[in-house]
Structure 1
Amino acid sequence: MGVLFFNTLDSQRLKITVPSSHRIFLMSLSLSMAAFALAASISPGPVNIVALSSGANHGLRASLAHVAGATLGFCLLLVLVGLGLHQLLLRWPLLGMLLHWGGVAFLLYMAWKLASDNGRLTNTHSTTAPSAWHGVAMQWLNPKAWLAAVAGVGAYTGGEQHLLWLFAWIYGPICFVSVACWAWAGSMIRQYLGNPRHVRLLNRGLAVLLVGSAVYLVI
């Protein structure tokens, strides 16, 4: 009877402690995922450079399509890498090479668009503002995004799909806010760019940064 009593107590303790420890594990893992997402999303890169330029040239509202596209594009990339896309690229190097050179070409195209802009600020949703598809394409052709996806999946998911989906759900809002901050910063700069000449100088400076990113990929 005594053994049965203590076994009952032990089983009750397990029912209490195991879920509690699991919650603590998920909380600490979620915080670590959030910190990784913030560091990777807020740091300078081609996507954020374009968001800054779009905010300065077209305002925050017109730039949100690019922000949303970049967020959706990265979350999709993250999930597909977690489901085995990276292994597919390792198996088919030609596909990886096409993505690599496609990224170089796309960065140079965006740099050309910035450098050739007339410098006139628009207050409406201009058709020249980067679209959601631009945001998606920039993430898929962005080596920084691939590195972040591969590193994040390797560090936090351990091949577990439920952790992969948790990572994507955490990463999405943080990525959106981070890229939007760059667009917002551009919209704040906008008030000091009344002269089209100043806008052109800013755009050409950002274009040089994009060209630098493309050159870095080549070498």
Structure 2
Amino acid sequence: MLTMSLNLSLILFAIASTGTPGPNNLMILASGLNHGVRRSLPHLLGICTGVPIMILAVGFGLDQLFQQWPILFTILKVAGISYLLFLAWKIATTQVRQGPQTNNPPMTYVQAAAFQWVNPKAWVMVLSAVASFTVAEISLTPQILTIALTFLPIGLCCVGCWLVAGESLRRLLHDARKQRLFNVTMASLLVLSIAPMMAV
């Protein structure tokens, strides 16, 4: 198991990683506004279980593939950035009806969970967590499980706050013009969030 100091550091790292702006949080914020909390729950659960699944995969050997073939990480990064640009375009062009619902359906659980595998921020977060919060002197399995199980509830709380905030914005953005402006703003921020990932 991790030491007390490592556990505290891991918790703070998970809060900072899952609570700060990034592709997941910007998209779930937009989903909360456009679809509401209830319809966006599969999207939320896909994010919050997809990351721990990645942690398990990386912790139990997937990172060795990237060490052997660095081109794989480059391919994933290019695919992820391309998909983020596509999602930004979808958010910006969402057809807003008068009222909370839109013509575009919210992300499904599978789509949100699968998106983590092409999300550059998720890869940086997962690889950093596994590298920073495991020690060679202790069995790897309980350490990886601890990291994954730490990210699950913290992700639900932090990303969930963004979802609730999105639905709360409905009261301020009650007409279609304001919702369209919000969607374009979120899409622009999503594109801007790609810039730091280009350097990874």
TM-score for the superposition, normalised by structure 1: 0.81
The structure number with the bigger radius of gyration is: 1
1:70 aligned onto 2:47: yes
1:210 aligned onto 2:187: no
Percent identity of equivalent pairs: 37
C-alpha deviations, 1:114-169, integer Å up to 9, x for none? 11111224459x86112212321332212211111111111212252111101111
Residues 33, 100 of structure 2: 8 Å contact kept: no
- 2:112 corresponds to which of 127, 131, 135: 135
* Structure 1 CA distance for aligned equivalents of residues 172 and 104 of structure 2: 23
Residues 78, 168 of structure 1: 8 Å contact kept: yes
User: Compared with structure 1, are the counterparts of its residues 217 and 147 closer, same or farther at alpha carbon in structure 2 (3 Å cutoff)?
Assistant: closer
Residues 94, 104 of structure 2: 8 Å contact kept: no
C-alpha deviations, 1:36-57, integer Å up to 9, x for none? 1111110100000000000011
1:30 aligned onto 2:30: no
* Structure 2 CA distance for aligned equivalents of residues 215 and 32 of structure 1: 27
What's 2:88 paired with? 111
Question: Pairwise CA RMSD of aligned residues?
Answer: 2.1
What's 1:13 paired with? none
- 2:164 corresponds to which of 177, 184, 190: 184
Higher mean displacement: 47-56 or 104-113? 104-113
Residues 14, 151 of structure 2: 8 Å contact kept: yes
1:78-157 aligned within 5 A: 78-120=55-97, 121-122=99-100, 128-157=105-134
What's 1:166 paired with? 146
The alignment covers a number of residue pairs equal to 195
* Structure 2 CA distance for aligned equivalents of residues 103 and 164 of structure 1: 25
C-alpha deviations, 1:49-77, integer Å up to 9, x for none? 00000001111111111110011111011
Unaligned runs of 5+ in 1: 1-21
TM-score for the superposition, normalised by structure 2: 0.88
* Structure 2 CA distance for aligned equivalents of residues 151 and 216 of structure 1: 15
What's 2:23 paired with? 46
* Structure 2 CA distance for aligned equivalents of residues 127 and 110 of structure 1: 12
User: Compared with structure 1, are the counterparts of its residues 40 and 216 closer, same or farther at alpha carbon in structure 2 (3 Å cutoff)?
Assistant: closer
* Structure 1 CA distance for aligned equivalents of residues 4 and 180 of structure 2: 47
